[in-house]
Amino acid sequence: MRDIGVTVKNFDLKTLLDLRIISRLVKYIRKNKIDIVQTAVFPADVYGRISASLAKVPIIISTMHRVEDHKQESIYRMLFFVDTLTMALTTKIIAVSEAVKNYLISFHKVRPEKISVIYNGLDTYQYQYQCNIDISRFKRTLDVKPDIPTVAFIGRIVKVKGLKYLFRAAASILERGEIVQFLIVGNGPLKDHFIQQSQLLGIERHVSFLGFREDIPHILAVIDVLVLPSLREGLPLTILEAMRAGKPIIATNVGGIPEAIIDAETGILVPPRDSKRLGDAICYLLQNPLKSKQMGEKGKRRARRYFDVERMVKEYERLYTICTETT
């Protein structure tokens, strides 16, 4: 961002409850005469809303990405309560999907008229440029076998992503005699656990853990199917990226995922926690390459139409203008 002339100030949050941040933010906002404060992701949402309110900023906007599970431990319930209280300070809340909007209305009791839905967008031109690679050569760098169908999971390795159901599905698929390789792209606290699980299930030779990668467009270029078996989602960028890359997607029918993926047209939706349906869907796409290609192409067109960064930017600009004119 600095390279394109944007001022970037890091306030260096030391701990989750570093209340000194509030006074520093208030001072910075007043000194620079900020007109709009836009926040995204906890705890920045809470600190940003409180600081902007104390500094008497006329417009406070938060972008919400998540749909939470409220049957969690007490610390998360406390954070949920604080988040809800500070939402009252906002001028507008942007939800990245209708599912997130419904969640905000049902659980945070936000008034519907206070919420605007703006879908995430991808820079399609940059994405197309990044995908211009020698696929065979890149596969060799990943130690991916060139003639074996490749299924990938891309995301944080945490419980909510439902990886254990993918691993069970993978074991079942391989037991049927199918020849498939699985790529697990990403890091997280459960990475070592799933490495052990792959060994316990006897599928470790077919599963590669690639860790955190910054070349996701390249990864998508070499795979056949993306799988996202999440238990909850707002609107995951991973599936939008896969759509833009023209890849068929198998994902759970949760949160905002059905707003992006049209079942049986741009991908396949399965119930969460259903390893059998997940495995059947993977086998179906791998055994029907023409259908998979058609799904991928339809997904690419849908991504261009509904999930383009230019469309997203215009909608943000429109919202900022409306808020400015009415404040």
pLDDT single digits (tens) 185-232: 999 999 999 999 999 999 999 999 999 999 998 999 999 999 999 999
- Own/partner contacts of 158-161, CB < 8 Å, gap of 24 or more, are 158/188, 158/189, 158/190, 159/190, 159/231, 160/69, 160/230, 160/231, 160/232, 161/188, 161/228, 161/229, 161/230, 161/231
Interval 294-321 mean pLDDT: 95
- pLDDT number for residue 14: 84
Q: Are 168 and 280 in contact (CB under 8 A)?
A: no
Q: Is 309 helix (H, G, I), strand (E, B) or coil?
A: helix
Interval 75-81 mean pLDDT: 74
Residues sharing a CB contact under 8 Å with residue 61, sequence separation 6 or more, in sequence order: 36, 37, 38, 39, 90, 91, 92, 93, 94, 319, 320, 323
Helix 20-31 / helix 44-54 crossing angle, nearest 10 deg? 50
- Rounded-to-integer distance, Cα 147 and Cα 231, Å: 32
Residues of the chain with CATH 3.40.50.2000: 2-121+309-326, 124-306
- Rounded-to-integer distance, Cα 102 and Cα 64, Å: 12
Q: Does domain 124-306 have CATH number 3.40.50.2000?
A: yes
Interval 274-278 mean pLDDT: 98
- pLDDT number for residue 136: 81
pLDDT at residue 72 is higher than 80: no
Q: Is 105 helix (H, G, I), strand (E, B) or coil?
A: helix
- Rounded-to-integer distance, Cα 219 and Cα 183, Å: 9
- Rounded-to-integer distance, Cα 116 and Cα 92, Å: 7
φ/ψ of 288, rounded to 5, equals -130, 70
pLDDT band at residue 305, thresholds of 50, 70 and 90? very high
Q: Is 267 helix (H, G, I), strand (E, B) or coil?
A: strand
pLDDT at residue 27 is higher than 60: yes
- pLDDT number for residue 132: 66
- pLDDT number for residue 127: 60
pLDDT at residue 273 is higher than 90: yes
- pLDDT number for residue 61: 97
Interval 300-319 mean pLDDT: 95
Write out the two tokens for 323: 């808020």
Q: Is 65 helix (H, G, I), strand (E, B) or coil?
A: coil
Assigned CATH topology for domain 2-121+309-326: Rossmann fold (3.40.50)
Q: Are 248 and 267 in contact (CB under 8 A)?
A: yes
pLDDT band at residue 3, thresholds of 50, 70 and 90? very high
Mean model confidence pLDDT for the chain:
92
- Rounded-to-integer distance, Cα 30 and Cα 269, Å: 48
Sign of CA dihedral 309, 63, 257, 282: positive
Each residue of 121-175: pLDDT tens digit? Answer: 988 666 665 566 777 888 888 888 888 999 999 999 999 999 999 999 999 999 9
pLDDT at residue 102 is higher than 90: yes
- pLDDT number for residue 147: 86
Tell me whether the omega of the peptide bond preceding residue 43 falls within 30 degrees of 0, making it cis: yes
